[in-house]
Homo-oligomer: A and B are copies of this chain.
Amino acid sequence: VDGDCLGSSFALFLALKKAGKKVSVVLEERIPKTFNFLPGEYLLLDELSQDTVFDIVICIDSSDEKRINKRLFLLEGGKSINIDHHISNTEYAMYNYVDASCSATGEIVFDIINYLKIPINIDIAINLYTAIASDTGGFRYSNTTANTHIVAASLISVGINIAKVNRIIFDTISIFKLKLISEAIDNLELYENGKIAVIALGRDMIENAGALEEDMDGLSSFPRSVEGVEVGIILTERENGKIRISFRSNEYIDVAKVAMKFGGGGHKRAGGCTLETDMLTAKKEVIGAVISEIKGDNG
């Protein structure tokens, strides 16, 4: 669960409760501790009694049935509604409200709550603001539209402390991630006149830093941010010994194309793949593939 999924779910939960409905948010795992500040409650699927039947099941920010995973059986009992903004949504529910022009599912839930004429209070506003800020990288990504800002304006008017929310979701680094960043910088290598930045983190470095998988995921866009770099690559050796590789580009290189050569995928500006080889071989291969892409050498 990410900020959009959680914020949108809690916002709708609080709004429907205010409207007198009996509602539960059902998750499979505990939420990341970053989001403990969000007003709302949830049940874990394991805590639900086996014979629970909901009249209506609403799936939030879930593009396909794989995301609903073990909770899929809950959709069988009654009506199902699917509210999402992913263009890849498979419209698996009885009723599907999918709008890929929205930056976040939070933008859609904002409209729904307004349509239901339920007043947006501070708790609902904090959740919707977190949902939208999370999925737009704080209004920085290209999915941010004029409407995204208009919704943010409306949420701020309710009186939320946005500085605090932004500090929690964007400007709080664990001491373990900090050490990992230091390792990452010390291991940064530039290729092709500084157009490619590569960071390779072996198990020893990751374990020395005491870093978790979530700390590593947060580093993906780090090498791309170095001045002059077009493609940033991070290779991390995972616990199972496999090498996970993430690619990010800034302007013109289609990194999904590169990732696909190694059985991975993604978008033009963000891609990834996993290799079952040693770190040095993996590094050499992916750098070679990116250089070919930069040189337009696709034969």
Contacts and interface: CB of A to CB of B under 8 A. Distances in A.
B138 A149 contact: no
Interface string A143-179: 0111111101110110001111011001111110011
Given A172-B225, A181-B185, A146 B154 contact: yes
A250 interface: yes
Contact of A140 (B153, B163, B174, B225): B163
Contact of A173 (B172, B182, B225): B225
Contacts of A1: none
28 contacts: A137-B166, A139-B139, A139-B162, A140-B162, A140-B166, A141-B163, A141-B166, A142-B161, A142-B162, A144-B156, A146-B153, A146-B154, A146-B156, A146-B157, A148-B153, A149-B156, A153-B153, A164-B251, A171-B225, A172-B227, A173-B227, A175-B190, A178-B185, A178-B188, A179-B185, A181-B181, A181-B185, A182-B182
A38 interface: no
Contacts of A170: 140
A185 B188 contact: no
Contacts of A167: 140, 225, 250
Q: 4 tightest A-B contacts by CB?
A: A149-B153, A142-B163, A182-B185, A140-B166
Nearest to A141: B163
Contacts of A157: 146
A186 interface: yes
A221 interface: yes
A156 B152 CA distance: 14
